[in-house]
A and B are shown apart, each in its own frame.
Chain A
Amino acid sequence: MPERDMIRIASGQGFWGDDLDAPVRQVEGGPIDYLVMDYLAEVTMSIMQKQRARDPEAGYARDFIPLMERIFPACVEGGVRVVTNAGGVNPEGCAEALLDAGRRAGVAGRARVGRVEGDDILERLDALLEEGHELRNMETEEPLESIRDRVQSANVYIGAAPIVEALGQGADVIVTGRSTDTALTYAPMMHEFGWADDDLDRIAAGVVAGHINECGAQSTGGNCLIDWWTLPDMARVGFPIVEARPDGTFTVTKHPGTGGRVDRGTVAEQILYEMGDPTTYITPDVIADFTSIELEEEAPDRVGVRGIRGRPRTDFLKVSIAYADGWKATGTLTYAWPDAAAKARAAGKILRERLDRLGLAFDAVRTELVGWDSTHGPLVGEPPADLPEVQLRVGVRGRDRSAVERFTREIAPLVLTGPPSVTGFAGGRPRVQEIMAYWPALIRREAVEPHLRVHVEEV
């Protein structure tokens, strides 16, 4: 296959629960070569692990299947390849469902489905600990032993290699587990342009492109603060498309006729999203230096990106571990003028006294006034007496589920037993949620990489 001088990599989902029509708009709205969809966040894997515990066929982003059934024929006819981490904790189950969806969509014999496995180390956890991998918490330095019995999921962030391999084997749709969000975008570049593992600057450029793609419309005007009121037609916002070139430069754009905007401001905001040390953006394949990025507005809705530098990858991969860490619940009531905030605070005080009298112990109780201080906290000072209304929001968390359950029964009584002019309890009792805490750790590459597997199968 001759090397192409440009490929278009379109972002279709920024998280599990994003705009379901966005991938359809990307496939139908103009020419693209790849559609990449990121479904996984830190807590998603533990939710999926729970779903699989109840149903062995579950544990992946289920809405990916009806979506593919809808766009599969257009993707096959237009030569659009799909790369996604929708596989969650069950890439095999996801791939099986996808093969069925492909047959229903009429692409049998015309497409191949690839899946990447081996990032899930939950089953191997005890063996790894025995071999001396301590999996200490990167923030607290505690060894995993201290919470081992409460671990719900353990997945390693993996890089581009298995995706590149699946593309090389001719897969048209690739589902992975915990591939890094950015790898979904730069793996197609490595495949198409034949970049070597030590093409550090170009792979780092791919990482930046992936970071710009990974949150969907957050780089094309969504959640953008800069002159937000001037953004056109956000009801049909265009998701980002990266036009990548073999030399590692690329252009960020979106389909013509879609809403939103691509300019220096919208792209710069997304570059800073969830940023740590910008000189050291660590991925499984390269360390990218985000202070080397050069942005240039080439034309309306076209931002050119160049200049990016990379350094060699580390010997470690990051592990995302989720563990059960107690229970929480949050209840709300709405208080009206006059003296809305005073009433809400008085109600909060009554509630705390009642919880104390019941002898309920919590690790934390938090009271916020929605409409006053629940976003900017003490920075906003004291509320005015003429605030028209405010919502009291009280949350508790603790290890004792029954105490949290009991808390959920103490909100409604305040309507008849507390301060006046209160409403807003139509939603019923608050729901008790299990807390899934996050345990980031590092593991040596060689403990994981030999276990990565690629399977490619025809629909």
Chain B
Amino acid sequence: MARVPLVHLAHARSGDKGDTANVGVIAYDPAHFDLLKRQLTPAAVKAHFGSMVQGEVERFELPNLHALNFLLHGALDGGGTVSLMNDAQGKVFSTAILRMEVEVPDDVAAAVSKRGRVPDGWSVEDYGRGHA
């Protein structure tokens, strides 16, 4: 087994509702959904965010999208126009959760080691042409 950052196994989008940030985590490969479900428990996510989340963490499952939706309560310093945070609307909690480490079999770790990151040798000159 190996520990890999979640960024190699899933993509994510986050948003806000008042002082709560929501983070949707979607497995790149449906075959990895079960291991994400086992390891990304509300308690593990709460522990990962530490002082960034003052309230509870709730989790909802969307097996149809091989996705998990987390509600991080008390994460936005009051939220909306009250918040003093640079990320007052919780837009980048999406990639903050992808810093979590998950345990996967060695062959999976090897297969996904480049997933989710800009490929080596990529240049902004390539951007917009529609290929990797």
Contacts and interface: CB of A to CB of B under 8 A. Distances in A.
Interface of A: 42-43, 139, 223-227, 229-235, 259, 265, 268-279, 290-295, 307, 325, 328, 330, 364, 366, 368, 370, 374-379, 393, 395-397, 433, 435-438, 440
B81 A437 contact: yes
B3 interface: no
Given A225-B13, A375-B87, A437 B128 contact: no
Contacts of A292: 64
Contacts of A234: 128
Given A232-B129, A291-B64, A274 B26 contact: no
Contacts of B49: 379
Given A374-B87, A435-B82, A437-B81, A259 B96 contact: no
Q: Is the interface of A mostly helix, strand, loop or mixed?
A: mixed
Interface stretch (B32-40, B55-63, B103-111): B55-63
A290 B11 CA distance: 19
B85 to A, nearest CB: 7
Given A368-B86, A393-B86, A440-B18, A275 B92 contact: no
Given A231-B130, A232-B130, A272-B67, A325 B82 contact: yes
Nearest to B131: A230
Given A232-B128, A276-B69, 13 more contacts: A226-B11, A231-B130, A233-B130, A265-B11, A268-B65, A269-B12, A273-B24, A277-B60, A366-B84, A374-B85, A375-B96, A436-B81, A437-B82
B86 A370 contact: yes
Contacts of B42: none
Given A229-B118, A438-B80, A379 B15 contact: no
B12 A43 contact: no
Contact of A291 (B18, B63, B122, B129): B63
B127 A229 contact: yes
B125 to A, nearest CB: 12
Interface residues of B, number: 52
B97 to A, nearest CB: 9
A272 B26 contact: yes
Contact of B71 (A139, A223, A276): A276
Contacts of A328: 81-82, 84
Interface of B: 11-13, 15-19, 22, 24, 26, 28, 48-52, 60-65, 67, 69, 71, 77-82, 84-87, 92, 94-96, 99, 116, 118-119, 122, 126-132
B69 A272 contact: yes
Given A225-B12, A393-B86, A43 B81 contact: yes
A376 B64 contact: no
Contacts of B19: 139
Top 4 closest pairs, chain A to chain B, by CB? A272-B24, A232-B130, A395-B84, A274-B15
B16 A378 contact: no
B107 to A, nearest CB: 22
Given A270-B13, A273-B24, A397 B82 contact: yes
Contacts of B131: 230
Given A271-B65, A274-B16, A235 B52 contact: no
Contacts of B18: 139, 438, 440
B51 to A, nearest CB: 6
A40 to B, nearest CB: 14
5 contacts: A271-B24, A273-B24, A278-B60, A328-B81, A378-B50
A341 B91 CA distance: 24
Contacts of A273: 13, 15, 22, 24
A398 B132 CA distance: 49
Nearest to A235: B128
A191 to B, nearest CB: 29
Contacts of A139: 18-19
A230 B130 contact: yes
A395 B77 CA distance: 12
A230 B132 contact: yes
B70 to A, nearest CB: 10
